[in-house]
């Protein structure tokens, strides 16, 4: 019988930013800004790629788990479930830092 194993999610608040634009009724991601300056940053995988950029460039706002008004620049927190070095078998979620519920949770768990 398989046992249920809990997965610890670590939320990273390392200043990743999405640059956005509203085009009619669509929210477009213009740019994903990764602040990593070191190859050992939490977001950098073994291929030297930013896993946040990798996921958001492929799946866009489908990775978003939060709610907030659209801004031209949106600072996000992110977490990855699975091995960031094998992104095809992992999952990344981001939350806008300005999401009120998430922000309250971050403060209470910080």
Per-residue pLDDT at 69: 85
Per-residue pLDDT at 20: 95
Which three-class secondary structure string do you get for 20-61?
Answer: EEEECCEEEEEEEECCCCCCCCCCECCCCCEHHHHHHHHHHH
pLDDT band, residue 68 (cuts 50/70/90):
confident
**Of all residues in the chain, what percent carry a pLDDT higher than 70?**
93
Q: pLDDT for 6-39, tens place per residue? A: 567 899 999 999 999 988 888 899 999 999 999 9
Q: Residue 64 corresponds to which tokens in the numbers above?
A: 């978003």
Task: Tell me if residue 106 falls in helix, strand or coil.
Answer: helix
Per-residue pLDDT at 7: 61
To the nearest whole number, what is the mean pLDDT of the chain? 90
Q: Residue 92 corresponds to which tokens in the numbers above?
A: 């990344």
């Amino acid at each position: 019988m398989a046992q249920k194993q809990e997965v610890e999610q670590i939320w990273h608040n390392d200043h990743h930013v999405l640059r956005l634009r509203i085009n009619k009724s669509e929210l477009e991601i213009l740019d994903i800004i990764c602040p990593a300056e070191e190859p050992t940053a939490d977001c950098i995988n073994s291929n030297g790629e930013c896993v946040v950029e990798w996921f958001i460039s492929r799946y866009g706002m489908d990775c978003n788990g939060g709610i907030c008004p659209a801004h031209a620049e949106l600072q996000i927190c992110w977490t990855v479930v699975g091995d960031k070095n094998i992104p095809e078998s992992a999952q990344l979620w981001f939350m806008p830092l300005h999401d009120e519920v998430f922000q309250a949770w971050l403060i209470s768990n910080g």
